[in-house]
Structure 1
Amino acid sequence: MKTPILTAIAVFAIIPITANASYQANSSPLQSVKQREAAKTEAWNDCADFIFQNSTSISPDAMTRLHQDVMSGVVTWSISSSVQILALDGPSVGWVDGEEIEFASQADLDTAVALILNATATKPN
């Protein structure tokens, strides 16, 4: 009588182990890292495309610095949303040293900031 019970216990113990191993084989950590890296790259590409199509001025190193911020997940830029009367600058994303990305309208700046923050928040690993 003990043999069928032990057999039943062994079968029920093996089924979850087998199912778990099958699940892990279908969702490898490497695959999910590649998916997250692809999502981060796609988010950055969407952001960069919008900026190149809608900005009115881009300082020479601004896109490189922005790309570094996005990929590191750190925000080092600030927003200037008011028009500066003397320089006639539009709203912009920029850095203290003068590098900036200017836009013609507040709406374009708002969209760019949303895309930048989305790309920055997307985790690659």
Structure 2
Amino acid sequence: MARISAIAPLENDGWLPPERGEALYQEPAIGTHRVRLLVELTALEPGGLEFTSPDFTVTGIGSRNVQPLWSSVDSTIGQGKTLEATLVFELPDQAIALVLEGPDGTRLSLGQAHHGK
């Protein structure tokens, strides 16, 4: 089971990860902005759940699949346990409906609420 608990544009809240990857030291590309997603994942299966950030992408109408620039953790959790992960993506400035896609067909809507335009 998965849910997005928060969506925050980095330019609005000033948050930066404690250990920034090289990509976060550079300015966002023209026509994009960076968004922090807080995702909660609960392992329902007996074998637990393996979270690896490259398994997640953001997609939208007329846009390419976007891989995370940064992730807080890659981890494995046991059945009944919950993992809170932070993912940072660089997304287009257009207010289009976006979806976070994960393994096994997981799809979570990001909506358009983080766009102030």
Larger strand percent:
2
For normalisation by structure 1, the TM-score amounts to: 0.25
Larger Rg: 1
